[in-house]
Amino acid sequence: METLVLKVDKSPQGEKALDKAAEIIKDGGLVAFPTETVYGLGGDAKNPRSSKRIYKAKGRPSDNPLIVHIANMSQLEEIVEEVPEVARILADNFWPGPLTMILKKNKVVPKQTTGGLDTVAIRMPSDEIARELIIRSDCMIAAPSANVSGKPSPTLASHVYKDLSGKIDAVLDGGAAIIGLESTIIDLTSDIPTILRPGAITKNMLEQVIGRVDIDPSILEKKEADKPKAPGMRYKHYAPKAELTIVEGNSSKVVAYINSQVRENDNKGINTGIIATSENANKYIGGNVKEVGSAADEEGIAHNLYNILREFDDTDVSVIYSESFDGDGIRAAVMNRLLKAAGYKVVSADRVAIKRIIFVGKNGSSRSPMAASIFESLDEDKDYEVLARGLLVQFPEPLNPKTEAVLAGNGIEIEEFSATQLSDDDINSSTIIFAMEETLRSKVLEGYEKANEDNTFTLSSYVGGELEIPNPYGGDLQLYGLCYEVLKDTLTKLIDLLKQER
């Protein structure tokens, strides 16, 4: 089947396009059309054959009900058992618009359209083209989002064409869908009206006109839920081809975390995509960065999200990291879709646990082993692997005798020690490096690919200490003793800090 692309605008051609599309619907055919939320794939809601064709074109399970799109209140009366007062209030306030209500259906709607349920989802869209199509076809239009099942909903006619060309009769091209996320769905058949899918009409907006509104608990969960009430919310959805991970946490840590992943992936020859807010976009050191909008402009983010997910499908990235958009109102809707797109894969940048600590000194035989062994003696929980390394290790020198003496005097014994040169192989994404002096830190940053501003620090400044750790090399035993005391004090503070950051 050839799929017609019909441009709609105010011109006479636009008028003809609408008439043609209306005719196709009337004849039992399928037309994708723009709405204010996303593009829908429409057929005559009263014609069971049209509904069957919709399921087939989308590759959608036939137990997943369609939304019936109407243009006036008498069409609502025509298909439901009764119109409860709360539905009238909601219609007065939010229709036409991005709100779908679930009500008890009557016999006018075939079960094919409602996936076998005795309830029906109904929406009166505000988009002019959608409304005209309903009116001119003289039909109520059953329409799911016009994507192949599982993909992000289409916000442009080109998205629809990519997914469904050859499978449907026509696409009405009316430009970008303004909102970019599917409608809010509210179930009015339960005792307390319940949101089954968050959208641009928020819980707060609904509660202002009808009082208490609940949210289907499966929406709030950050993991795969057993039984969401809207059948469609059960399926894997919105997913780009690449593996998507959401990174939560303090903004600068999120950037640092994603940058460390980009660096690691670059080394492995893997291309990384990044979904970034405008505020952070230029802080990324590499990767394929796509700006989703300003963090303050939640509507902009909603509008852009699906398009960006689809754009990544046309690139060679195989992993994508997204900043997190948790929050109220439409942010809740954005986050709900993003979580599903990510298959609920979320990591916290604040809590990337440090597993390995490397103390770095100059020759690696006095201060760094001293620091490592003191740290181990203080860290009761034994949460870390602790290494001592040097930057100028010519040969595997034994432990400096004065270091050994001072440690022994404090009840610490080191067995089988030989100095080891720091190597990039020592450093991974859960490593933190502490240099004994600022100059050593600079050398680590210069000389090691895997060392960076986010994992390499000067020990004393990391804990907020004013003094650098004294260099006892060539000094007397007393100086080694002083070094021990300063280290012990500094490392006690360090352990506290690391505990807090966990």
- CB 361, CB 368: distance < 8 Å: yes
Contacting residue, 35, 202, 277, 322, with ligand TXA by CB under 6 A: 35
How many CB atoms lie under 10 A from the CB of residue 151?
Answer: 23
**Residue placing its CB nearer to ligand TXA in the complex, 105 or 263:** 105
- List the single partner that 213 binds among Mg ion, ligand TXA, none, CB under 5 to 8 Å by kind: none
- List the single partner that 183 binds among Mg ion, ligand TXA, none, CB under 5 to 8 Å by kind: ligand TXA
**Residue 143: φ, ψ to 5°:** -150, 120
Taking the complex as a whole, how short is the minimal distance between the CB of residue 78 and ligand TXA, in angstroms? 17
Contacting residue, 3, 183, 260, 307, with ligand TXA by CB under 6 A: 183
CA 272 – CA 252 distance, rounded (Å): 19
CA 305 – CA 322 distance, rounded (Å): 11
- CB 22, CB 137: distance < 8 Å: yes
Residue 184 interacting with Mg ion (CB under 5 A): no
How many CB atoms lie under 10 A from the CB of residue 133?
Answer: 31
Burial of residue 304, with CB atoms counted within 10 A of its CB: 0-12 exposed, 13-18 middle, 19 or more buried: buried
Taking the complex as a whole, how short is the minimal distance between the CB of residue 356 and Mg ion, in angstroms? 45
293: left (phi over 0), alpha (psi -120 to 50) or beta: left
- CB 26, CB 138: distance < 8 Å: yes
- Judged by CB under 6 A, the stretch of 114-122, 264-272, 278-286, 456-464 that binds ligand TXA is 114-122
Residue 324 interacting with ligand TXA (CB under 6 A): no
Pick from 482, 466, 340, 359: nearest CA to 420: 359
Q: x/- contact string, 143-182, with Mg ion (CB under 5 A)?
A: --x-------------------------------------
- List the single partner that 230 binds among ligand TXA, Mg ion, none, CB under 5 to 8 Å by kind: ligand TXA
**Residue placing its CB nearer to ligand TXA in the complex, 115 or 369:** 115
Taking the complex as a whole, how short is the minimal distance between the CB of residue 229 and ligand TXA, in angstroms? 6
Q: Tell me the pairing of strands 346-348 and 243-248.
A: parallel
Q: Mind giving me the DSSP string for 130-144?
A: HHHHHHHHTS-EEE-
CA separation, residue 330 to residues 179, 184, 205, 240 (Å)? 10, 10, 11, 21
Count of residues near Mg ion by CB under 5 A: 1
- Judged by CB under 6 A, the stretch of 44-52, 116-124, 157-165, 473-481 that binds ligand TXA is 116-124
**Residue placing its CB nearer to Mg ion in the complex, 174 or 199:** 199
- List the single partner that 67 binds among ligand TXA, Mg ion, none, CB under 5 to 8 Å by kind: ligand TXA
- The CB-nearest residue to ligand TXA is 232
Residue 75 interacting with Mg ion (CB under 5 A): no
Looking at this protein, which amino acid is placed at residue 396? P
How many CB atoms lie under 10 A from the CB of residue 342?
Answer: 19
At 6 the three-state DSSP class reads strand
**Residue placing its CB nearer to ligand TXA in the complex, 143 or 444:** 143
Residue 40 interacting with ligand TXA (CB under 6 A): yes
Residue 182 interacting with ligand TXA (CB under 6 A): yes
Taking the complex as a whole, how short is the minimal distance between the CB of residue 63 and ligand TXA, in angstroms? 9
- List the single partner that 323 binds among Mg ion, ligand TXA, none, CB under 5 to 8 Å by kind: none
- Judged by CB under 6 A, the stretch of 140-148, 363-371, 393-401, 488-496 that binds ligand TXA is 140-148
How many CB atoms lie under 10 A from the CB of residue 331?
Answer: 19
- Judged by CB under 6 A, the stretch of 31-39, 298-306, 358-366, 478-486 that binds ligand TXA is 31-39
Residue 101 interacting with ligand TXA (CB under 6 A): no
**End-to-end alpha carbon distance in the chain:** 59
Q: x/- contact string, 185-224, with ligand TXA (CB under 6 A)?
A: x----------x----------------------------
Residue 230 corresponds to which tokens in the numbers above? 């809207």
Residue 304 interacting with Mg ion (CB under 5 A): no
Looking at this protein, which amino acid is placed at residue 498? L
CA separation, residue 302 to residues 290, 309, 371, 465, 483 (Å)? 14, 12, 50, 45, 56
CA 197 – CA 230 distance, rounded (Å): 8
Segment 266 to 285, residues that bind Mg ion, using CB under 5 A: none
Residue 491 corresponds to which tokens in the numbers above? 């490392």
Contacts with Mg ion, residue ranges (CB under 5 A):
145
Contacts with ligand TXA, residue ranges (CB under 6 A):
35, 37-38, 40, 64-67, 100, 102, 114, 117, 119-121, 123, 143-145, 182-183, 185, 196, 229-233
